[in-house]
Amino acid sequence: MRHFSQPNPKRSAVRVTGAFPAPGKYSLTYCDQCGVCAEMCPTQAIHEVDDHYEIDPDLCTGCLICVDECPQGAMFTHPDEEKPIKCVSCGDCVAYCPRQAILDQDGEVAWAGVEAKKKAQTAGR
Amino acid sequence: MTQDAKLFGYGGRILRVDLSKAAVRVEPTPEKMAREYLGGRGFVAKILWDELPPGVEPFSAENKVVVASGPMSGLFLPSSGKIEMGTKSPATGLYGEGNMGGHLAGELKFAGYDAIIIEGLAPKPCYIMIDDDKVEIRDAAKYWGKGAFETEKMIKGDLGEDFKVATIGPAGENLVVYAVVSHDFGRQVGRTGVGAVLGSKKVKAIAVRGSRGFELADSEGAYKKGKEMFDACFALPGFEDWTPYGTAGVTDWINDIGAFPTRNFQTGYFEKHKNINGAMLKDRILILDKGCTACPIPCGKYSRFNYKGRLIYVEGPEYETIALMGGNLALESIEEVAYANYVADELGLDTISAGSVIGFAIECLEKGVLKPADVGRDVKWGDTDGVAWLLERIARREGIGDILAQGVKAAAAKFGKGSEKFAMHVKGLEISGYESRYAPAMMLAYMTADIGGHHNRAWAITYDAAVGQEKIEGKAWKVIELQHVRPLFDTLGLCRFPWVELGFELHHYADMFALVTGWHYSWEDLLRVSERIWNLTRCFNRREKPDFGRADDLPPPRWMEEPLPSGAGKGHLMSRENAEKMLDEYYALRGWDGNGLPTPAKLKELGLDFVLEKVKLGA
């Protein structure tokens, strides 16, 4: 929503996959900023910026080698995008996951709603 | 049809699937319809009014199923996952409609469609495959006969995990009038038999994948507003208290106020309620909170348990199932209720109607209206295996199941011997989980709901509790208010739970609607649309049943004649006189005539004059 100015989960850099009816759970695919994509990129289009890696769209040729090489499977493509979609650590998923299923590196979120979310989660278990 | 201006917040297109001609057509979503009816329930009601021939036979080629998302479905705001489905109901012969959560509403819009109109009859089992612009009517021979979840899993396996799939079970295939449409392994369009109409059209499933997204009038503003709405939701006290139990959390309270349907609504108090309440669900069988699109308060309680050596997975049971398959059948443990829930879900049966029908059958056996030989075996209160056995007979339409598959009203007409007195329905739709003899506003809500005995239009029971459960007068206005607010969520394509359960403020939705569509409607303007739709569905009912009116709004005889024998409401009933008094008050406030029909002045005020061409109102 923030990056493409429209609601469209198919452009999201976080994916949720359900396994139903059994065993009845969701799994998440997301980028842990390991940097393998940057190492593998033949045009050095992926750079470390602050605490994460970003694609430089001017250098990216859309070869999609990074998609194949990502150890997490978290480099995504979309039919309308020539270049891959990569997590830029914007933190929205952390802030707005109501179940705290996604946490930042320190396991903490500097954000007011976190206490209520923690309580709702522990009460639910 | 010419293309209107770009509609922000909408997919912008309507998909028309003609099964008889095996043809698919894409039409622009008319801007006028969007402005006057918004989406979801509004689109369903308007399209059914415009396109169905009056008096259409529900299982004929001329009946249609309309599937519609709303302008706020699939958005970044709390609980935007509701999709609406409607048809001429085979259960009531009147306006039929239901909605469900999951992820289909957003997905349909991401594929670029606001609605699907399914018409005609397919010559053989098929499913509708929608992958952005690619739409196909495909053979479904291999899925036909399979369970609702089994089919969903198979289709996801065949097409891809990222397809969102709605299915029907054997009950839909066999035209059980309370067959559901199932999705996301536990979400259902439960009421009024939409699944049966899909079954009559031989549509086993609808599979959708969308990659497009859609434009908003002010995307930056909508993003900011979405964040504000989530933050506001997380900060509400109910966020912590309500979420762990979901709807099952109200079980004890409903029982305490004498409103828990017990043994086919013989009473409103179930002595074993603590065995089947939200705490039991959480402690004994819950494994996962399962939410719909963008939902911060997931009410989906996914459960796993062992039933007689079988490992069972099911979403639920939620409150309505606990009421109609728990108290109403006197099942005595949460596992037994969850097992009946699972059997009904896989067969594609509505747990509310099925629970009511089986409760009715058990009472028929108890009173000697039916003999065990008529049924094929004896079934008693609390007999879980007997209940599961009956669910199978109903879904397969074997033996007694063939009659029970037509609902309590038809079954009572067939069985006779006074059984009409305890057939618990309004307008032919079985009553959901609130025994209302000691909850008059709730009873009025059931009496006047456009689809029949269902609580979703106005969950007025909290108002009864707030202002006094004995009180008859002065409650109609609240029922009317709720009948406009609650269905508005179904119209916008949203879930109402953040508001109902957490007290989320309604103005947020009007603010967001303006950012999404660019149309500046106040909350009151939106309610006006809801009133328009309410009056339209009322006229639809009159058109389909020419003598439709006041008599169709009366509660079942049990509620008017038998005082509650136990519980907080002991001794209470709704006398015929009081029922009529409530209707008088209700009709007057609505601007309807004494027969409960909109007056020409009311129709004109709401921009509904056009209905007069097709329907004769008055006494």
- Please indicate, yes or no, whether residues B463 and B601 belong to a single structural domain of this protein: yes
Query: Same domain for B361 and B322?
Result: yes
Shared domain for A79 and A102, answered yes or no, is no
Q: Is the dihedral of CA B482, B487, B489, B494 positive or negative?
A: positive
Residue A119's domain comprises 91-125
CB within 8 Å: B235 and A116: yes
Closest residue in B to A15 (Cα–Cα) = B162
Q: Is the dihedral angle over the CA atoms B206, B210, B213, B214 positive or is it negative?
A: negative
- Residue B138 sits in a domain whose CATH number is 3.60.9.10
Question: In this predicted structure, what is the pLDDT of residue A106?
Answer: 52
Examine the domain organization and report whether B586 and B469 are in the same domain: yes
Shared-domain flag, residues B43 and B159 = yes
- At A114 the pLDDT is 54
Alpha carbon of A114: minimum distance to chain B alpha carbons (Å): 8
How many interface pairs between A and B have CB atoms less than 8 angstroms apart?
107
Q: Which of the residues A3, A4, A6, A121 would you substitute to probe the B interface, choosing the one with the greatest number of B C-beta atoms within 10 Å?
A: A6
Enumerate residues 396 to 455 of chain B having a beta carbon within 8 A of any beta carbon in chain A: none
Crossing angle of helices B384-396 and B334-347, rounded to 10°: 10
Residues A1 and A42 in one domain: yes
Chain A: closest CA distance from residue B488 (Å): 22
Strand-strand pairing, A15-19 and A25-29: antiparallel
Note whether B240 contacts A119, CB cutoff 8 Å.
Answer: yes
Q: For an interface test with B, which of A3, A8, A28, A117 has the most B Cβ atoms less than 10 Å from its Cβ?
A: A8
Banded model confidence at residue A93, pLDDT cuts 50, 70, 90: confident
- Residue B283 with chain A: CB contacts under 8 Å: none
Closest chain B residue to A96, measured at CA: B230
Same domain, residue pair B422 and B478? no
B29, B66 Cβ separation under 8 angstroms: no
State mean pLDDT over A11-40: 93
Residues of A with CB under 8 A from a CB of B: 1-2, 4-11, 17-18, 20-26, 78-80, 95-96, 98-99, 112-113, 116-117, 119-120, 123-124
pLDDT surpassing 70 at residue A105: no
- Pick from A20, A120, A124: CB nearest B185: A20
Q: In this structure, what is the dihedral angle of CA atoms B220, B221, B227, B230, given to the nearest 10 degrees?
A: -140
pLDDT at residue B200, as a whole number: 98
Q: Looking at residue A115, what is its pLDDT?
A: 58
Which positions 251-290 of B are in contact with A (Cβ < 8 Å)?
A: 282, 286-289
Tokens found for residue A92: 């929205």
- Are A1 and A48 in the same domain? yes
CA B293 to CA B303: how far, in whole Å?
20
Residue pair A11/A79 in contact by the 8 Å Cβ criterion: no
Residue B522's CB: how many other CB atoms inside 10 A? Answer: 12
Shortest Cα–Cα distance, B129 to chain A (Å)? 18
CA torsion, points B75, B78, B81, B83, in degrees to nearest 10? -90
At residue A125 the predicted structure's pLDDT band, cuts being 50, 70 and 90, is: very low
Interface probe with A: pick from B108, B153, B211, most Cβ of A within 10 Å: B211
Nearest to A21 among B149, B161, B231 (CB): B149
Q: For the CA atoms of B212, B489, A121, B277, what is the dihedral angle to 10 degrees?
A: -130
Cα distance between residue B184 and residue B107, in whole Å: 12
> Are B285 and B329 in a shared domain?
yes
User: Residue for token digits 């074997």?
Assistant: B398
The tokens of A69 are what? 């090489």
Domain match, B298 and B411 both: yes
Residue B320 sits in the same domain as residue B361: yes
Does residue B619 lie within any of the structural domains? no
In a shared domain, residues A18 and A65: yes
Q: By C-alpha distance, which of A48, A78, A42, A76 is closest to A60?
A: A42
CATH classification of the domain holding A13: 3.30.70.20
- φ/ψ (deg, to 5) at B64: -130, 155
Please give the share of chain A, as a percent, with pLDDT higher than 70. Answer: 82
Alpha-carbon span B271 to B258, nearest angstrom: 11
Structure-block tokens of residue B370: 């039916």
Residues of B with Cβ-Cβ distance to A25 under 8 angstroms? 287-288
B174 belongs to a structural domain: yes
- Show residues of chain A in contact with B75, CB under 8 Å: 7
Instruction: Give how many domains chain A has, as a whole number.
Output: 2
Alpha-carbon gap: A59 to the closest alpha carbon of chain B (Å): 26
Residue among A4, A23, A99 whose CB faces B213 most closely: A4
Distance CA B302, CA B305 (A): 10
Q: Does residue A96 share a domain with residue A85?
A: no
Sequence-ordered alpha helix ranges (H) in B209-333:
219-235, 237-242, 251-256, 278-280, 319-321
Q: Which residues of A touch B286 (CB under 8 A)?
A: 124
> Closest chain A residue to B295 measured between Cα atoms?
A98
Same domain, A102 and A84: no
Who's near B495: CB < 8 A, 6+ residues apart? B79, B80, B81, B82, B101, B292, B295, B489
CB contact under 8 A, A21 and B185: yes
Same domain for A81 and A25: yes
Pairing state of beta strands B181-183 and B187-189? antiparallel
- Which of B76, B216, B225, B234 is best to mutate for the A interface (most A CBs within 10 A)? B234
| Cα–Cα distance for residue pair B408/B421, rounded to 1 Å | 11
Contact A6 B297 (CB under 8 A): no
Residue B223 inside a domain? The answer is no
pLDDT of residue A110: 39
Whether residue B327 is found in the same domain as residue B381? yes
Question: Measured between CB atoms, which of A1, A20, A78 is closest to B211?
Answer: A78
ipTM (interface predicted TM): 0.90
Same domain, A108 and A68: no
Together in a domain, A86 and A102: no
- Same-domain pairing of B267 and B141: no
Contact criterion met (CB < 8 Å) for A98 and B210: no
Q: For residue A124, what pLDDT is reported?
A: 41
Query: Tokens standing for B333?
Result: 């443990």
Claim to verify: residue A80 and residue A112 sit in the same structural domain: no
Task: Tell me, yes or no, whether A73 and A50 share the same domain.
Answer: yes
Q: Residue B73: give the domain boundaries.
A: 13-209
Separation of alpha carbons B397 and B108, rounded Å: 33
pLDDT along chain B (619 residues), means of 10: 74 98 98 98 98 98 98 96 98 98 97 98 98 98 98 98 97 98 98 98 98 94 95 88 92 98 98 97 95 94 97 97 98 98 98 98 98 98 98 98 98 98 98 98 98 97 98 98 98 95 93 98 97 98 98 98 98 98 98 97 97 90
Q: Which chain B residues are Cβ-neighbours of A99 within 8 angstroms?
A: 289, 298
Q: Taking CB atoms and an 8 Å limit, are B106 and A9 in contact across chains?
A: yes
Q: How far apart are the first and last CA of chain B?
A: 38
CA dihedral B88, B483, B474, B427 (to 10 degrees): 20
Mutate to test the interface with B, among A3, A4, A5, A114 (most CBs of B within 10 A): A5
* Contact between B234 and A9 using a beta-carbon 8 Å cutoff: no
Measured between beta carbons, which residues in chain A are less than 8 angstroms from residue B212? 8, 80
Q: What is the DSSP letter of A76?
A: B
**Chain B nearest C-alpha distance from A107 (Å):** 19
Set of chain B residues whose Cβ sits within 8 Å of the Cβ of A120:
239-240, 243-244
Chain B residues closer than 8 Å to A2 by CB? 223
- If you measure CA to CA, which chain A residue comes closest to B8? A6
- Among chain B residues, CA nearest to A78: B211
Same domain, A54 and A104: no
Closest partner CB to A98 (pick from B219, B234, B235): B234
**Does residue B76 belong to the interface with chain A, where contact is any CB pair within 8 Å?**
yes
Q: Which tokens is B52 given?
A: 């169905």
- Minimal Cα–Cα distance from B275 to chain A, Å? 18
B147 found inside a domain:
yes
Average pLDDT over residues A96-101: 79
What value, to the nearest 5°, has the Cα angle with vertex B352 and ends B295 and B73? Answer: 25
How many domains is chain B partitioned into structurally? 3
| Chain B residue at shortest CA distance from A114 | B234
Three-class HEC string of B337-376: HHHHHHHHHHHCECHHHHHHHHHHHHHHHHCCCCCHHHHC
Of B380, B414, B429, the position where a domain reaches its end is B429
Adjacent-strand bridge partners of B262:
B267
Asked if residue B192 and residue B258 are part of one domain, the reply reads no
Of A6, A26, A120, the CB nearest to B219: A6
Residues B273 and B414 both lie in one domain? yes
Q: Which residue of B has its CA nearest to A1?
A: B223
- CATH number of the domain where residue B537 is located: 1.10.599.10
Q: Are B320 and B459 within 8 A, CB to CB?
A: no
